[in-house]
Amino acid sequence: MRRIGFLLFIGLLAFFLAGCGEKSKDEVLDKLTEQAEKIKGYKYNAKMSLALGTEKQEYNVEVWHQKPEYYRVYMKNAARDQSQMILRNKDGVYVLTPSMNKSFKFRSDWPKNSSQPYFYESLIKDLSEDQDAKFTQSKDYYVFEGKTRYQYNKSLPYQQVTFRKKDLSPVSVKVMDQDRKVMLTVEFTDIKFNAPFDDKAFDLNRNMSSALLEVPASKEEADSNFTVKIPMAEIPGAELVDEEEVMTGNGKRVVMTYDGEKSFTFMQEKIHVKETVAMPTLALEGDPVDLGFTVGVLTDHSLLWADDGVEYMIASNDLSREEMVMLAKSVDAASEK
């Protein structure tokens, strides 16, 4: 009887210790999902670093979310003195680009239609939908490694996401290429779950005004020259057949024409921002798309973006959206022509 009692005691002790020990992947995902559903919103800051292209780039990112569908992402690259904002409110989705003195309005499901490395609930959804996601834990952190859901960027298929054990807040995201080389890192700070927002926090006019304040004071330039770049990605069925330099009221515009089964036009032009009370808003059927180094404006037949004082556009009736994004990303990686 003593032996049976001793074995029973050992069994109960083991059961108790197991219950108080490390949690399984499913248990942690359930807790994360529950928290994402329970909170009313959040505010946090992040530092985003990219290894895309020839130079490492860093952005300061401010993220706001108020349920059910209000979002605000403000990104600033201090080195290039440029900023952008993505805003979603009751009227739609907007991309505000002060350096271009433009804003764009979309009919879009953003941010629900793709992975978003800076949104808490998007990261949790990525991991929950990946049956093969790997899971480890340490004294203070839960670490997942799984697949991304990028809609137009298949070259970054994996990510590692770290959460704090004590409050399930995000610590970092590392997005990797096919060889699991880290190409993009997001590190989160100043996290406030259930943060309060005033009535105008997601108002378009207020955010337009604050975005315009980020535009540097205009300076007279000697000329409108800029470094001409070319897409480095190879598109089978497209060949460069013409390059034309056009002088406009703003200066030089370079137009490259690619012909073949996958024909397209690639244009680039120096931006000259004029002081204005408010940005004009252009309505489009499309989506904001994260190119890594900037946020682009993507439709079925065009992709527009600005980078380092230059406006770029790809226009085509033959390219898919994914192909246009691939070309745009390869332009940033290109060396001088």
Task: Tell me what pLDDT residue 251 has.
Answer: 75
Characterize the bridge pairing of strands 102-106 and 281-284. parallel
* Mean predicted lDDT score pLDDT of the chain: 86
The 3-state DSSP class for residue 34 equals helix
**Per-residue pLDDT at 337 exceeds 90:** no
Q: What's the DSSP call for residue 24?
A: P
Task: Tell me what pLDDT residue 305 has.
Answer: 92
| Domain range list for the chain | 25-213, 238-272+300-333
What CATH fold (topology level) applies to the domain 25-213?
outer membrane lipoprotein receptor (LolB), chain A (2.50.20)
Rounded to whole angstroms, how far apart are CA atoms 108 and 94? 10
How many Cα atoms sit within 13 Å of 171 on the Cβ side?
Answer: 14
- What are the tens digits of pLDDT across the range 252-287? 899 999 999 999 999 999 887 655 556 678 888 888
**Per-residue pLDDT at 3 exceeds 90:** no
- Regarding predicted confidence, which is higher, 108 or 167? 167
- What are the tens digits of pLDDT across the range 220-261? 444 567 889 999 998 999 999 999 998 877 778 999 999 999
Note the Cα 141 to chain centre separation in Å: 24
The predicted model scores a pTM of: 0.85
Characterize the bridge pairing of strands 302-307 and 158-164. unpaired
Rounded to whole angstroms, how far apart are CA atoms 126 and 150? 10
- What are the tens digits of pLDDT across the range 188-198? 999 999 999 99
Q: Which amino acid is at 256?
A: M
- What are the tens digits of pLDDT across the range 94-149? 999 887 778 899 888 899 878 899 999 999 999 999 999 999 999 999 999 999 99
Both tokens assigned to 332: 């940033």
Q: Report the chain's C-alpha Rg in angstroms.
A: 24
